Structure 1
Amino acid sequence: MFRLLVLTLCGLGSLVSASTFSPARPPAIPLAVKSPYMNTWLEVGSDGGSGGILPGYWPRFWAGPQPGPVAGSNGAVTAWTGFITVDGTSYTWMGAANVNGVVPPSVTQTSFEYTSTRSTFIMNVAGKISMNVTFLSPVTPNDLRRQSVIGSYLSVTVAAIDGGSHSVQLYADTSAEWTSIHNTDIAQWSYSVNNGVASHSSWRQTQSEFNADYPDDAAHWGYWHWSTAATSSMTYQSGQDVTVRGNFLDNGTLPDTQDTDYRAISDDWPVFGFANALGNVGSSPVETLYTIVHAQQNAIYFDGANGDVSVPSLWTSYFSSDSALVNFFYGDYGNMASLSDATDNQFAGDSIAAGGQDYSTITSLSARQAFGAVQLCGNETKPYLFLKEISSDGNIQTVDVLFPTMPIFLYSNPILVKYLLDPLFENQESGQFPQTYAMHDLGPNYPRAIGHPTGDGEYMPLEECGNMIITTLAYAQRAQDTAYLTQHYAILKQWTGYLVDEALIPANQLSTDDFQGQLANQTNLALKGIIAIQAMSEIASKTGNGADATNYSNIAHDYIGQWQEMAVVTDADPPHTNLDYQNDTSHGLLYNLYADRLLGLNLVPQSIYDMQSAFYPTVAETYGVPLDTRDVYTKSDWQMWTASIASKSTQTLFISLLAKWINETPTNRAFTDLYNTQTGDFADGPFIARPVVGGHFALLALNGAPTAASG
């Protein structure tokens, strides 16, 4: 019998308090973050998180049920358990398993480090064994086949650190909780071996494609595949949590049996375990690799040019079955690791060169979250990239979420911006949205991209017209795709007509910051519309529509002159733009100015840039510059948009305060973009795990920006 030490929860802190964090201690740590449905994190912050320690806490889905205030609510558990037995004594290295009242003592976590694609924990086991536990969620923006795989790696490498040799057994399991956030749902599962890869597969027994039975944040269809190498030293078991885990703790192995009593997730909590007998481990590292893959044949229900259709996951264009997908992903680990190294090095290197280590701290934490809110669908001939507005709403392809997210895609591979825009153009150009302005989203509930054929949806007409025009030109400039501008010229011109009528003096309406409520004469919103009119002049010039180019340019230049008269508070010290034309005691982040620089339009005088740069430091708080004078909340994405076009000293201020927030915030959920600048805590809204952190790449997206418009 293997000896098991019992440790009370109150003793955990003494073993795990020594961990260091690099480059920062984030509010939450991404573990398996690859899509809106594969989105598992370790909560960290002091609002009830783990403090960044892997053993002793359950990983959680980004959200799950939210019965109360965000700061006090927990996401649904996606149980993931790891044990290690060294010389007959067992320890926990992941999760919070209690086996019939016994809690194996936690290994000592000595350090944690994150990159754009990896979260790495270094553990010490009783001074005998070192463990490297690395979660890798690949980001391969230039390799669509690999990026289309909704999969994540878990690598555990062990080696002796005391000069000796030690008997080591390793255990890891996932639970049926991955299949649904509703623990009363019935799960089903199976075990198989294909081409040397062993897989526990689990799924919601009653599949509901596209979550048709009721809107939900977690998928009601698809199959979860938890896999490792089928070696002679590996044993497996599915069954009740305490039974499977107890078998390993008692024996160091599993009995190679399958439980076929399919049941509700909370009924004896089914888990799917692997045990690996690693033998006598010395100073040479021994690695065990696991993968988890979420496979959905169909991914999106889309009302496009041909009416309502089921859009397949893009991976189905490359792999004939779930097992082929799983086998490829498992066997591709070496290539994926190399590609991820390249991503990590590029993102970090470019970020440090552009904004220093603090900027790399921000972008590295943002990458997986941004890519984890989108999914590649369609086929090789016609790919789509569908986006979920996580947490703040369930909308799909929300235009004013796509817009702040855009910089990471412009920077990493501009074609991804086209794949985001295509579904929006396809739906509206086929006559399925009757308004003359651009729609707000493609549907209220991801993954049902059914549009708004009656013309309803959230009313942000000026906001979305400006966003669509600016984003389309930004893509076309980077990809040198003038044909795309020609293809969509008619509807772009239609939306520009709306801006000509409405942009200079905005009516009482919402901007993208809809949590602040409606406001008339919004200075920043007007600026977006005016810049978009000038962007349309550039689009007209590029597509051979000279008369339109001249007309729109004349209008934009006339409007920007009038805008300055109404927007600038000249008698303030220092002067600055106001929040709305009538209110000279107000101010706000003029983040829409970024589009002028991004597109190389040179419409707005440099004096506006300089004036705002001088002003922002005078209103900075502990963790950033407030969004506007209505409260002390701010948005991290808009701060980075603003920072990227500010003077160097002001840019450094913005970046350093956001990096400080990452390291000190009490929030315990995936990177919130809306927070209190004085306390660092959550604001009122549940803004968690949103893709808009892609906007933190705003400074990098300026690489390759035109220096002057051609028109």
Structure 2
Amino acid sequence: MSAGIFIIAVSLFSTSARCAINWTATPFNPPSVPLAIRSPYLSAWLPQWADTGGSLSGNWPRFWQGDTLGWAGFVNVDGESYNFLGAPSVPNTGFNTAVQHALQWTSTQSMFNMTAGPVNLTVTFLSPIEPSNLINQSVPFSYMSVQAVSNDGDGHSVQVYSDISAEWVSGTDSSLVNWTTAAQGDTVIHKVQLQQQTLFDDSGDRIQQGAAYYATGDSANMTFQTGQDVVVRGQFINHGVLLNTQDTDFRAISDDWPVFAFAHDLGTVPASGESDIVVFSVGHARDPVINYTLGLGRSQQRHPYFLCQYPTVEDAIQAFAGDYTNALTRANALDAQIHDDASAISSNYSAIVALVLRQTFGAIEFSISTGSDGQYNDSDVTVFLKEISSDGDTSTTDVIFPAWPTFLYTNPLIGKQLLLPLFEYQATGEYPNKTAAHDLGHYPQAPGYPLGNDESMPIEECGNMLIMTLSYTQRTNDTSLVTSYYGLLDQWAQYLVANTLIPGDQLSTNDIAGPLANQTNLAIKGIIGIQAMSEMAALAGNTSAAANYSGIASSYVSQWLELATASDGQHLTLAYGNDSSYGITYNMYADKLLGTNIIPQSVFDMQSTWYENNHNAYGVPLDTRHLYVMTAWEMLTAAMVNTAARNLLIDAIYAFSSSGLNHYAYSDWFDTTTGIVEGNCGGAATLCFRARPIAGAHLALLALPND
């Protein structure tokens, strides 16, 4: 398909998507709107359906894998009730539906503008991203705020209501739950949890441990109530106030659907001017968070990082709820910084980056250990990542790698804390393989693999660890990873020296495509990894090893070019010797990220031209075996090619993202001809690739070193 046809196709698909909604969406209407995303177990989205759209009023938010999350909102205006959140049915009330007329989202916020009769509402969902304050980042809570303004020049009596259901703790509606409501200082907190809990049990991607929380500020104008959904909602709709009563008939989630509600009376909203802002805080927390191996049959229960500052979860909630104004200011500053940096590349790129940032941070959790005295050890901070949706592994090395640009750009220390659990485990000597581990177990368990039976991707993972370690060290001048784990790094580099130039029948990170021998793209990752080891050896003062590794890498690149270039000299092959094959050589990105410059610029130029001439409506296929691609690999590629090819790849991802063809929490795996998400999205969520942290690769251009 020519570039001209490509542009037309994008335009047509964008127009089709716009026809499905009746509100203004800025920058575009995404497949699913992020609402509250702060951890692997706090991940609420609003799907956008191709035929009907997905207004905030009239649709239930959903967990990333599709479970309904009961989250309802009403506003009473002069005695008339309007639903602005969720799709509740409340018999014998006759409430109205607020009309959504605008949606705008940034890296941290999703803002809905709605009309409820004579007042307009602004409903803002803020999931703070706090890379400069990691204790704040570790708090697994999110905000929803509501503000009203008159739209007819008259004053109006306004009350605001919201509740969550017990669906926030389990996707199994027959599960038994209990709950409490209590004040914590100037905050009132609903807490709901499973009656029977199992530590570290992730069932259906829902944790069977901890509690969901819903909180708001206490005042004389705030009322609360817990009880059956239709009873509590009906009370507010009919009276504009709740009863300050607690239902203590603990039961199953679907047994008279218990909900946990708050209402605020805003008094009279003036004819001109805005009402006070009503703030609700929602979250899911547990302690401990991770069961981590110490090797040799020992394990360690690790705790939420924020508990080193706050004595209890409730204390953290109170501080979080009271910090909304400051959190919003910080979020606006981060949004502006990212928007400015990304817009310098293109407006389409800025939109893509904004869509994926919350989802990337939402896959990680910060943990601390306790000392022998039982006190939290805040000098031992590590970060664990859940491989959301593809298989749920803990700290998967080749998932951290594509997410790496986001952490390198926002705060490289997070990257170090992500690598530490992998390094520390393999340094125990329990892991028997001489290559880097694929992962640490199934989230939130991290038992390691004493039998060495993790998924086998030896070149992939050795290259990833060497590249990420050097990039962190370069960006921070902190050589602690190099000096502490030099033996492991050297061991992995030696494996690459022996195996990467002529790769055996191995898996790469694209394991869905199966193993393949002599993979061009896999080989170059290993070669760059060898060069990375050369530079780390130099940092460690081992000049002879540095020279040796550098010489090997240089020799291998020359041989690789001979083996991997098609006979017509027009492109690199997917596998050596197969001129009819090709693939996206996204691993070459590491050469640009590290500034190792071992690949001639002519190779980047050759690949740029090839991509420009060989693409479909939604991008360049991953390789000649399939028509699909993953956005992460396209974006890594966009960060290393010429401007024309870069814009082509970015615009293809934008076209997929804005097409209106999908309604899942942002999925990165799709067909380049149809734009349809791959995998069994209607069945097993593990095959759908939704809400994955590899979307962090979309910040690949921002992570490149400044010239």
Report the TM-score when normalising by structure 1.
0.93
Mapped contact 1:25–1:52 kept (Cα < 8 A): no
Shift of residue 17 of structure 1? 5.1
- Pairing of 1:252-651 with structure 2 (within 5 A): 252-282=240-270, 283-286=272-275, 287-304=277-294, 307-353=298-344, 355-378=345-368, 379-443=377-441, 445-571=442-568, 575-651=570-646
Residues 1:54 and 2:56 aligned together: yes
Shift of 1:78: 0.9
What is the letter of the counterpart of residue 540 of structure 1? A
Query: Is the contact made by 1:157 and 1:288 (CA closer than 8 Å) also made in structure 2?
Result: yes
Give the CA deviation at 1:297: 2.3
**What is aligned with 1:219?**
207
Q: Structure 1 CA distance, aligned partners of 2:522 and 2:443?
A: 27
Partners of 1:102 and 1:525 in 2: CA distance: 62
Of 156-165 and 658-667, deviating more is 658-667
* Contact 1:579-1:628 at 8 Å conserved across structures: yes
Deviation at 1:295, TM superposition (A): 2.3
Gap change, CA 1:179 and 1:259, over 3 Å in 2: same
**Equivalents in 1 of 2:488, 2:204: separation in Å?**
33
The residue identity in structure 2 corresponding to 1:631 is H
Structure 1 unaligned runs (5+)? 1-15, 64-74
Give, in angstroms, the shift of residue 667 of structure 1: 1.2
Determine the C-alpha separation between the residues in 2 that align with 1:326 and 1:410.
Answer: 29
Counterpart of 1:700?
A: 702
- Kindly indicate whether the alpha-carbon contact (under 8 Å) linking 1:239 and 1:270 is maintained by their aligned counterparts in 2: yes
**Deviation (angstroms), 1:233:** 1.4
Residues of 2 paired with 1:55 and 1:632: CA distance? Answer: 37
* Cα distance in 2 between the residues matched to 1:276 and 1:603: 63
Does the 8 A contact of 2:71 with 2:164 survive in 1?
yes
Tell me which amino acid in the other structure corresponds to 1:221.
Answer: Q
Letter in 2 for 1:448: Q
Do residues 25 (structure 1) and 50 (structure 2) align?
no
Deviation for aligned residue 1:493 = 0.5
Amino acid at match of 1:403: F
- Paired residues for 1:671-690 under 5 Å: 671-684=666-679, 685-690=687-692
Residue 457 (structure 1) shift:
1.0
Asked whether the 8 Å contact 1:235–1:274 carries over to 2, the reply is yes
Alpha carbons 2:566, 2:577 under 8 Å: kept: no
Contact 2:80/2:95 (<8 A) preserved: no
Deviates more, 1:455-464 or 1:102-111: 102-111
Alpha-carbon offset, residue 102 of structure 1? 6.0
Contact 1:531 1:595 in 2 (8 A): yes
State the shift of 1:461 in Å. Answer: 0.8
Distance 1:45 1:478 in 2: 42
Structure 1 ranges of 4+ moved more than 4 A: none
Whether the 8 Å CA contact 1:59–1:78 is kept in 2: the answer is: yes
Identical-residue share of aligned pairs (%): 44
Q: 2:169 corresponds to which residue?
A: 179
SS of the aligned residue for 2:552 comes to: helix
Deviation per CA, 1:18-63: give whole Å up to 9, x if none.
31100111111110000000001001142x7x62411100000101
CA distance in structure 1 between the partners assigned to 2:350 and 2:689 by the alignment: 22
Aligned-partner Cα distance in 2 for 1:188–1:382: 34
SS at match of 2:206: coil
Amino acid at match of 2:517: A
8 Å contact from structure 2 (residues 93, 234) kept in 1? no
Q: Choose the corresponding residue for 2:659, options 656, 664, 673.
A: 664
| 1:99 maps to 2:96 | no
> Aligned partners of 2:264, 2:606: CA distance in 1, in Å?
63
Does 1:118 pair with 2:109? yes
Equivalents in 2 of 1:289, 1:665: separation in Å? 31
Q: Which amino acid aligns with 1:479?
A: T
User: What is the distance in 2 between the residues matched to 1:137 and 1:200?
Assistant: 19
Asked whether the equivalents of residues 665 and 681 of structure 1 are also in contact (C-alpha less than 8 Å), the reply is no
Which runs of 5 or more structure 2 residues have no equivalent in the other structure?
1-19, 369-376, 680-686
Q: Distance in 2 between matches of 1:104 and 1:476?
A: 59
2:227 aligned with 1:236 = no
Deviation sequence 1:311-336 (CA, Å, 0-9, x none): 00101111001221111001111221
Whether the 8 Å contact between 1:97 and 1:103 is mirrored in structure 2 is no
CA distance in 2, matches of 1:305, 1:334: 45
Deviation at 1:583, TM superposition (A): 1.3
Match of 1:131 in 2: 121
Partners of 1:34 and 1:441 in 2: how far apart? 22
In structure 1, the residue corresponding to 2:180 is in which secondary structure?
strand
Report the equivalent of 2:73.
Answer: 82
2:138 is the counterpart of 1:148? yes
1:304 Cα offset (Å): 2.6
Letter of the structure 1 residue corresponding to residue 358 of structure 2: R
For each residue in 1:90-140, what CA deviation from the matched residue of structure 2 results, as whole angstroms up to 9, or x when unmatched? 1110000001376633211110000000000000122x1010000000001
| Counterpart in the other structure of 1:4 | none
CA displacement, residues 349-379 of structure 1 (integer Å, 9 cap, x when unaligned): 11011x1111100000010000001011114
AA in 2 matched with 1:240: Q
1:241-284 CA distance string (max 9 Å, x none): 11111111121111111110111111111101111222221222
Read off the aligned partner of 1:638 and give its amino acid letter. W
CA distance, structure 2, for counterparts of residue 375 and residue 698 of structure 1: 22
Partner of 2:549, secondary structure, is helix
User: After superposition, what is the alpha-carbon deviation per residue over 1:147-188, rounded to whole angstroms, capped at 9, x for unaligned?
Assistant: 111110100000101100112121100000001111111111
Distance 1:462 1:101, change over 3 A: farther
Query: In the alignment, does 2:111 pair up with 1:109?
Result: no
Tell me what 1:160 maps to: 150
CA contact (8 A) 1:297 1:313 kept: yes
- Deviation, 1:511, is 0.4
1:453 Cα deviation from its structure 2 partner: 0.8
In structure 2, what is the equivalent of residue 72 of structure 1? none
Contact 2:435-2:458 at 8 Å conserved across structures: yes
Instruction: Please report how far the alpha carbon of residue 338 of structure 1 lies from its aligned counterpart in structure 2 after TM superposition.
Output: 1.3
Whether the aligned pair in 1 keeps the contact of 2:521 and 2:587 (CA below 8 Å) is yes
Equivalent runs, 1:199-218 vs 2, <5 Å: 199-211=189-201, 215-218=203-206
Q: Is the 8 A contact 1:55 1:93 kept in 2?
A: yes
Q: Alpha carbons of 1:641 and 1:103: their partners in 2 closer, same or farther (altered >3 Å)? A: farther
Backbone CA RMSD of aligned residues: 1.4
What displacement does 1:480 show? 0.5
Deviations along 1:56-104, whole A, 9 cap, x unmatched?
00000101xxxxxxxxxxx111110001111221111000000137663
Q: Report how far residue 215 of structure 1 moved.
A: 4.1
Question: Match of 2:329, as an amino acid?
Answer: S
Report if aligned partners of 2:567, 2:579 keep a CA contact under 8 Å in 1. no
Alpha-carbon separation, structure 2, partners of 1:295 and 1:656: 38
The correspondence for 1:169, drawn from 159, 165, 168, is: 159
